[in-house]
Structures are given as structure tokens and as C-alpha cells.
Amino acid sequence: MTNRFLWIAWPGFLAACLLELLVFALVDPMELQWFGRDLGWSRQSVYTTSFFVFWLVTMGACALTTLLRLAPAEVNECPFDPGQRPTGCPGQSGAV
């Protein structure tokens, strides 16, 4: 489980770093507006907030990729111990 989280978080972090560099090479944070008004945030708060938003979005994309590459056996695997599996859980003795 830790490996899967790292498969999601690390590429998301690297992509967020790249997006931060690309976006703020072209956009001045002090000129950002929200509903026609100045945002009123400091440069550092805009950089920080946007980095975490970029990171969450790219982690979502990485999570979807990780989910889609799972084998059917991994997706359908029963998470319970063999003695505590409910009826119908894969691996249950007598389960269809």
C-alpha cells in the first residue's frame, strides 16, 4: 500500500513542480483577480496554494492511472482473513 501511495505522490509532486514553474513564468501572482477584484494575497500565498492545488490534481491523475493498471485479481481480492471472509467473498470456501 505504501508503494502505491508513493507511485501516486512522487510523480504528482514532480508534475506540480513543473506546472508551478511553467505557470508562474507567464503569470504574475499580483495581477490575479477573482470575480473582477484583486485577489489580495501575497505572492508566497499564491505560490503555495497553487502548488498544492497542482499537486492534488496531478495526484488524482496518477491515482486514476494506478487504479486502471490493476489486474482484475487485485481489484477483486477479498481484504479479509480467510477465516473471517463473508459469504460471496472471493476465496471463501463454497463461494461461487
* H/E segment holding residue 66: helix 43-68
Contact 93, 83 (CB under 8 A): no
Q: Convert the pLDDT of each residue in 35-54 to its tens digit.
A: 999 888 999 999 999 999 99
- Domains of the chain by residue range: 2-78
Give the list of residues 6+ apart from residue 18 with CB closer than 8 angstroms, or none. none
Q: Convert the pLDDT of each residue in 59-92 to its tens digit.
A: 999 999 988 888 887 777 777 777 777 777 766 5
| pTM across the whole model | 0.72
